[in-house]
Amino acid sequence: MSALIATRALTKRYGSHVTALDDLTLDVEPGIIGLVGPNGAGKSTLLKILLGLLGPTSGSATVMGMDVVSDGAQIRQLVGYLPEHDCLPPDVSATDFVSHMGRMSGLPAAAARERTAEVLRHVGLYEERYRPIGGYSTGMKQRVKLAQAIVHDPKLLLLDEPTNGLDPAGRDEMLDLVHRTGTEFGIATVVASHLLGEIERVCSFLLAIDAGKLLRAAPISSFVEHTGTLGVELEDGADLLAARLV
């Protein structure tokens, strides 16, 4: 059996100055896998290469044994992708958009309609499914992005910063949904995030990358073992908190 995802000396350069992935070699087995690293670490680039949307500069990668350069179309039939940025048409309903995406992935019309109802219920948008997406909150839009990623019953999900733009309560809901999607549907999932504290709750295995290099690949337990130190992650107000602590 080949690994779910395998890369060998995978390198991606943009132009001659930016090295987004630098000689990356890793093997990923099924589960819920966190891909963690600061902004600019190369997470999105890696996901796009795995989808066959971007070509590597050198090195190679396979997804379920298929080569990302020659078998991109087959890979995309078996993989669901939640892109980082807003990519939803505002004047279309969730039902129409998700079933269209299902058709694009090869589902017959009736099956696409059925699966759309099922996945919109799963993500908690069943009641709102006929409203145009433009009127949705950020959290609802993220859930539409998740629904279109799972409509064709993929074997692997690639989620790029699924909690982007959400408030803490929205993040918790989204992470819970990601966890339920991975476990209830049994879909292997890679979740990219710049917040370790956030994905450690839903992942069983972590890949940490920085500047396109692999820092560590290990079960989550080894990242969060006791050190006698308490880490506090802040989105803003760090100076104020530091001053108060002093």
Residue ranges binding ligand ADP (CB under 6 A): 14, 18, 20, 37, 39-45
Rounded CA-CA distance 43/195 in Å is 12
Q: Which is nearer to ligand ADP, 43 or 76 (CB)?
A: 43
Q: Which is nearer to ligand ADP, 13 or 155 (CB)?
A: 13
Q: Which is nearer to ligand ADP, 117 or 208 (CB)?
A: 208
Tokens of 199: 């994905």
Least distance in Å: CB of 48 to ligand ADP? 8
Q: Which is nearer to ligand ADP, 44 or 93 (CB)?
A: 44
Q: Which is nearer to ligand ADP, 43 or 129 (CB)?
A: 43
Rounded CA-CA distance 193/181 in Å is 17
Least distance in Å: CB of 13 to ligand ADP? 9
Neighbours of 123 (CB within 10 A): 23
Tokens of 181: 């999607």
Least distance in Å: CB of 220 to ligand ADP? 19
Rounded CA-CA distance 26/43 in Å is 13
Q: Please compute, for residue 186, the number of CA atoms within 13 A of its CA located in the half-sphere on the CB side.
A: 0
Least distance in Å: CB of 237 to ligand ADP? 23
Least distance in Å: CB of 18 to ligand ADP? 5
Sign of CA dihedral 167, 117, 159, 222: positive
Q: How far apart are the first and last CA of the chain?
A: 55
